[in-house]
Amino acid sequence: MDTSIDIAAYLDRIKVRQTPSVDIRFLRELHRQHVFHVPFENLDVHLGKDISLTPVDLFEKIVHRRRGGYCFELNGLFQLLLEALDFRVYSTAARVLFGTETIPPRGHRLLIVTLDEEDWIADVGFGAFGLIEPIPLKTGLEHRQFTDRFRLEQDSLLGFVFQSYQNSGWLNQYAFTTDLHYPIDFAFANYYHSHSPHSIFTQKRICQLPTPEGRKRLEDRTLSQTVNGLTQNVPLGSESEFLQALKTHFDLNLL
């Protein structure tokens, strides 16, 4: 994979000031700053633009134009950064669950990072209750990150199951194995999610960021802000209010 990217510009985009090092401390810093500053969003789908996964286009969109993206874009570019910084990393694919009783297709991209012979999950591109920092690829451990709680469990059929604690119970978010996937393996899922009327990403505009206190989510014309477990929903009456919310809460400018 091409790793000839401007590392300094990328680190500036996510406001990382530390000297790079190939260790878990710096990986946590990269991951945390990425999810706090680069929003999960699908706005280009509704602007009629193709979602390109080429490294040049991803860098131009996310770093130079200071936009966000969804998993194929965000984790794709984050993998390039990690490779350029000499981390051992590869992509794998997950099945998004959320209570489904059937086996869904693999429609999510996440990363596996190996440090000192230990594997970690890195995922800066999940749009629901995603990780703030990487977690080790081990089951049965609870990880508290700011206001969130996460864990991995094992399913005999689906492999690892990533869960978050919501409303007094554990919610299955996605399931995955550790099989290596190449960039081309995500082309079909990317096309489906950006074109199919059955994809949630073609049905509504979504923009989301975690914060140290909770989460911010803009879904069509409703702005939701969760702070320390309490959620406030604010309806937006016009397109101009929607665009202003993007700028104010997510630092995005579509104009």
Other Cβ atoms within 10 Å of 59 Cβ, number = 20
46 is catalytic: no
Residue in the block written with tokens 């397109």: 239
Residue among 172, 5, 188 nearest 84 (CA): 5
123 is catalytic: yes
User: Residue 209 pairs with which residues in a beta bridge?
Assistant: 216
Quick one: how far is CA 103 from the chain centroid? 22
Instruction: List the catalytic residue out of 123, 148, 193, 207.
Output: 123
Instruction: List the catalytic residue out of 31, 34, 44, 71.
Output: 71
Residue 207, burial from CB neighbour count under 10 angstroms (0-12, 13-18, 19+): buried
Instruction: List the catalytic residue out of 31, 34, 108, 193.
Output: 108
| Ramachandran region, residue 83 (left: φ > 0; alpha: ψ -120 to 50; beta: rest) | alpha
108 is catalytic: yes
Active site positions, annotated? 71, 108, 123
